[in-house]
Amino acid sequence: MFKLALEYPADESGSGWEGSIVGAIAQKDITKAKELLPQVRDEQGRMTAYAGIGHALFNQNNSMDSVIEFTEEIPDDQHVVFYGELVMRLRKQVAYEQLDKLPTPEAQARAALKLLQRLAESYNPLTDEQMEHIESFLTETERNILGL
């Protein structure tokens, strides 16, 4: 599947399918998924692959520790985006529970933004108190994006 994805042109956003395939492979074989990363053609596809691998690592240990360790393999300037993408893959309650464990205030702010956007688009299982806690991670930039 991966080789086939590389044969097809990127979509309108400039991303190919291979990032998603790497993420799916990671659910069964994290080592193989990491080996395929250099072949992912574009930045967005690579971020999709990174997030898929991070999700697999989290599921493997039910811990953010191995995910944080994995970010050492990701370029520094992409860490914040990575955590925002990772939160989109976790169950909402689990994502909420992990916000405090993220390594930097910037990562927490991006993850909080993505989680709030996700909660606004669908069923929200969180309490008002939990929502306030999420909002406490936001910087002025994220607050402006959300219109708060």
pLDDT single digits (tens) 113-127: 999 999 999 889 999
pLDDT at res. 20: 86
Mean pLDDT rounded to a whole number for the chain? 91
- Give the residue-averaged pLDDT of 85-102: 95
- Give the residue-averaged pLDDT of 52-81: 94
| Tally of CB atoms within 10 A around 48 | 23
Would you say residue 8 has pLDDT above 80?
no
Tokens of 74: 């990701």
- The Cα 137–Cα 44 span in angstroms is 25
Task: Say what percent of the chain tops pLDDT 90.
Answer: 74
- The Cα 51–Cα 18 span in angstroms is 13
- The Cα 106–Cα 123 span in angstroms is 26
